[in-house]
Homo-oligomer: A and B are copies of this chain.
């Protein structure tokens, strides 16, 4: 154990280390990140808490216009639609905006990611030609109208209808009930002129009764050039929120609004002039999930930005912890900063380690998204769902902890943390409620990605799992060769090997996932009939959620280990292995009761885990500054009066 009082870590060795660490964390999109960093390194981009809602919204739109002028949005769209077609750059660009103002990220994400993504991915050539250039340069301001007041998590059940009228070749868009109101829609309160509206398509060919064809997406103009609601459209304002003042969330009701037939985004389903419906995908369910699948970029961006927000909060708190002194000096020579206290280290350093793991896993997720492998699409969707939950809950926790670690100073808006806290809060909810997302992961794993289980009710899904009558085992996604090599080179027996052995670390998390998956399946297979299926599902729900978490955490660890294993050998890599150890020890500590109860960890080893976290905190304390500097957050965006003195 080294002494708690440590040398100034801005020494040149650690500054050099921070530079190398930054490139490792930045991953394949280092250049994009550096360009955006340079672009946003301006304190005036930080949220000003004294702005009115109107001022905040106008300011964010202005900033978006300046970003658009710099070509910021082009990577998100295909080259032949007017973009540059670099999905990874699009995601990391949005992510990096999170260092400035989360309202800027969210409003940009709505315009270019969600609304633009709907047109890009659900539309066809006629839509790309007509809309994409305007979406990129902001001539076309849009919103993404999926969620309804009554339908947040279960969007297959939205009530808005779009009924085809063959006589006029129009769709009639309508909100039949109060719960069909589009709600919380970013852009709907003020700026959006058009909406990508998700609605139940109703049509029939000649001689057919019109019938529901499932949820489709339509481009619906909602405001005129002056910003007034168009006839039949009634928008309203969600008003103040817990944060994100610069995002104009609103509501939309449609009263028999007529739009031209061509406004159906018809890649996955089309209506002929005479009303005949056609689709390349026969099953309504499969069609809907295929459409949703093309929209996961939004969820990837939310996860990525949450990672950025967590890193920023931890950077502010770490710098403060290295500056702030309280109570006595331990000896005549030195003075104790609050980060010299073990209690304070334990608050921040495990979260920094987790931020490293998440940043590395994010790069893998973004790369998989960019690779757009159709065979891996379904697994990617599940992994993104879990990772979004993992990353946003981490961010929420990290920001809370960072605020508290800065005491009263942390509560002042001028020091940013309380603003980040208000902004990040809803990340655990939007683009999918985290609990629902972990459940989705669990259901996909237990259903072995069977084609026909999506869209099943809890009961239907339980009956499916109960009757599969086979052993459920975790099927691994394609793992980088380096992970396989580590496993091959390490001892199978996790009991005896060191907890700092990489193979042991991976095996412990794999065993947890496998065990949870197997035992969850056993519980579900107790269902004997439709009558008990919901009860069986419900009594195992906490177990199912834990499956989603365990799977995700295992993926995150494997990304981290693979990333570090591929780094050049040297002191920086050694430092990263320590960070990896701290992540693993913290993961074990957080779920230690489970590992003990299921005898994956002995009592003696469990005690070593707690001591190990303490020891690793002490070891990493001298590198705390370098570890957060490596995040590469633009200095102007770290403006905080609490960091001025010292």
Contact = CB atoms under 8 A, between A and B. Distances in A.
A623 interface: no
A343 B541 contact: yes
Contact of A538 (B340, B412, B426, B538): B340
B606 A403 contact: no
Contacts of A151: 326
B4 A535 contact: yes
A542 B614 contact: yes
A184 interface: yes
Given A241-B418, A242-B413, A603 B614 contact: no
Contacts of A457: 327-328
Given A535-B4, A597-B606, A404 B422 contact: no
B241 A413 contact: yes
A539 interface: yes
Interface in A340-386: 340-344, 346-347
A241 B538 contact: no
B425 A403 contact: yes
B241 A645 contact: no
Contacts of A4: 534-535, 538
Interface stretch (A68-76, A206-214, A429-437, A473-481): A429-437
Interface in A582-616: 589, 592-593, 596-597, 599, 603, 606-607, 614
Nearest to A457: B328
A285 to B, nearest CB: 14
A428 B589 CA distance: 24
Contacts of A410: 429
A232 interface: no
B418 A425 contact: yes
A19 to B, nearest CB: 31
A154 interface: yes
A425 B403 CA distance: 9
Given A535-B3, A607-B597, A404 B421 contact: no
Interface string A508-552: 000000000000000000000001001100110110010000000
Given A154-B326, A593-B596, 15 more contacts: A152-B408, A179-B645, A184-B408, A238-B412, A240-B414, A242-B413, A327-B458, A343-B541, A343-B542, A400-B425, A408-B426, A411-B429, A539-B618, A597-B603, A597-B606
A452 to B, nearest CB: 17
A1 to B, nearest CB: 6
A516 to B, nearest CB: 13
Copy count, this protein chain: 2
Nearest to A618: B539
Interface in A223-259: 238-243
Interface string A394-421: 0010001001100110111110011101
A299 interface: no
Contacts of A150: 325
Contact of A404 (B340, B400, B418, B428): B428
A171 to B, nearest CB: 27
Contacts of A101: none
A351 B644 CA distance: 40
A342 B411 contact: no
Nearest to A393: B404
A292 B153 CA distance: 51
Interface of A: 1, 3-4, 49-50, 53, 147, 149-154, 178-179, 183-184, 238-243, 325-328, 330-331, 336, 340-344, 346-347, 396, 400, 403-404, 407-408, 410-414, 417-419, 421-422, 425-426, 428-430, 433-435, 439, 457-459, 531, 534-535, 538-539, 541-542, 545, 589, 592-593, 596-597, 599, 603, 606-607, 614, 618, 645
A330 B530 CA distance: 9
Contacts of A606: 593, 596-597
A118 to B, nearest CB: 19
A206 to B, nearest CB: 35
A421 B434 CA distance: 19
A396 B401 CA distance: 11
Contact of A592 (B184, B238, B343, B593): B593
Contact of A541 (B341, B403, B433, B545): B341
B343 A435 contact: yes
Please list the 7 inter-chain residue pairs (A to B) with the smallest Cβ-Cβ separation, ordered nearest first: A242-B418, A330-B534, A592-B593, A240-B413, A49-B240, A328-B457, A593-B593
Nearest to A48: B240
B593 A326 contact: no
Nearest to A183: B408
A171 B597 CA distance: 65
A330 B463 CA distance: 13
A434 B404 CA distance: 9
A326 B239 contact: no
A341 B618 CA distance: 43
Contacts of A154: 326-327
A421 B422 CA distance: 9
Contacts of A240: 49-50, 412-414
Contacts of A618: 539
A342 B407 contact: no
5 contacts: A154-B326, A241-B412, A340-B538, A407-B429, A592-B597
A397 to B, nearest CB: 9
A53 B48 CA distance: 14
A408 B422 contact: no
Contacts of A238: 412
